[in-house]
Amino acid sequence: MGAREFDIIVYGASGYTGRLVAEYLASEYGGDATLKWAVAGRSAAKLKEVMAQIGAPASVPVIAADASDPASIKAMAARAKCVITTVGPYQLYGEPLVAACAETGTDYVDLCGEPNWMRAMIDKYEAAAKKSGARIVFSCGFDSIPFDLGVWRTQEEAKKEFGAPCLEIKGRVRAMKGKFSGGTAASLKATMAAAFKDPSVIELLKSPFALTPGFIGAEQPSMSKPTLDEATGVWLAPFVMAPINTKNVHRSNFLMGCPYGRDFRYSEMMMTGKGEQGEAIAKAVASDTTLMSEDAPKPGEGPTREERETGFYDILFIGETARGEKIRTHCKGDKDPGYGSTSKMIAESAITLVRDARETKGGVWTPAAAMAAPLSKRLQAKAGLTFGRE
C-alpha cells in the first residue's frame, strides 16, 4: 500500500451505528493529529449535518460514495489505508466495497454476521486480497470480537498454565443488557430470504465449518434447544449470535494453523438461571422470534444514549484440555453490546490494523487471526472491554 490521504474512512457515517463510530473517533481521537480520518456516505449534506451534531472537528473531510455507484466506492477506498463500513445488510450493499478494497490494497472492517455472504466473499476475493495486501476483516462488533478474542485468550491462558490448549471451550452469556440492532434484524431477514431462494445456503448456515474452506473438524455440541447444565444446575438457552460466532471461532483456528487443535469443540449458549424459573426463561428465549417479526428494530433505529451507556455484557468461557484440566475466563463490556460497545470495537479494530498489525498479510481474516494480541490490548485500554481469569 502506497501513501494514502487518510488512515481511516467511516463509510455509512450518517446511519445510526456509523454515526456512533464517527462520534467515538471524534471524542477519543479528535485531538490526535497523527490519525487522519474522514466520513463517507451517499449524501455529503447529510454527513455534514451529522458531523456538526456530534461535535466533530470541522476539519474532518466528507466524501460522497454510494454502493450503487462502484466507481465512487473504488475512488473512496483508494484514498484510505482502512475503510470502516456499517452499511448493511452486507449481502445487499457490501460487495462493491469488498471488491474495491481487495483491488486497491485497502484494509476493510465491518460488522457482518451474514455467513453465507462472508463465505461468498472469501471464495471470490481472498486471492485478490492476498495479492494486493488488503486485510479484509469481517465481524468486528459484538459479533464476533468478544467471543473470538475470548476463546483466543482462554487458549493462551490454558497453554501458559497447562502447556496445552483446551480441547473444548463453552461460551456462556452470563448477563447482558441492551438491544439488538436494526442492522442485525435486517441481516437476519436478508439471510433467510437468501436461503429461501437457494437451498444450499441452508446447509452452509447449519455448518460450524462454513467459513473454513477445505477443513471439517470434529462434530460440534448441539446448541439448538434449552438444556440443563448438570455441572452447574443452570438452564441454558440458544444464543441468537451463536451461528455466526461459532463459525468465526473455527475460522480463526483454521487461519492460524489449528493451534486450538483439529478436533477443537466450541459451543455458545445463554445462561438463564436455576430451577423452574430458569427453565421457563430458557424456553421463552428459544421461542422468541422478535428479530424476524415486524416488531424488530429497523435499520437506523436504536436506543437512547442513556440506554447505550447503561448497557453491558458478561461472557463466561469454560475450557477443558484433553487431560481434563479446567480453566474459566471472561470477557465483559461496559456498554450495550449492539451499539455502544460495537461502535468502539470496530473503530479500534481499524486503528489496530493501521497502527499495530502491519505484519499481518493480505487476505480475508477474523479479528483473532488478524490481530488478537494488539486488538485485545487496545480494547481494554480504550473501549471498555475486560478479559480476565475467573
pLDDT of 378 > 70? The answer is yes
1 or 210, which is more confident: 210
Q: What is the mean pLDDT of the chain?
A: 93
pLDDT tens digits along 201-231: 788 888 999 999 999 999 999 999 999 997 7
pLDDT tens digits along 277-321: 999 999 999 888 776 667 666 766 778 888 889 999 999 999 999
φ/ψ (deg, to 5) at 174 = -85, -35
Which has the closest alpha carbon to 330: 144, 147, 165, 168?
Answer: 147
Partnered with residue 312 across adjacent β-strands are: 177
pTM of the model: 0.95
Domains of the chain: 6-141+341-382 (3.40.50.720), 145-338 (no CATH)
pLDDT tens digits along 98-142: 999 999 999 999 999 999 999 999 999 999 999 999 999 999 999
293 vs 271: CA distance, rounded Å? 24
pLDDT of residue 290: 72
62 vs 46: CA distance, rounded Å? 10
pLDDT tens digits along 67-84: 999 999 999 999 999 999
pLDDT tens digits along 138-174: 999 999 999 999 999 999 999 999 999 999 999 999 9
Sheet containing strand 37-41, edge to edge, reads 62-64, 37-41, 6-11, 80-85, 107-109, 135-137, 363-365
Q: How distant, in Å, are the alpha carbons of 51, 209, 210 from that of 348?
A: 20, 27, 27
350 vs 13: CA distance, rounded Å? 15
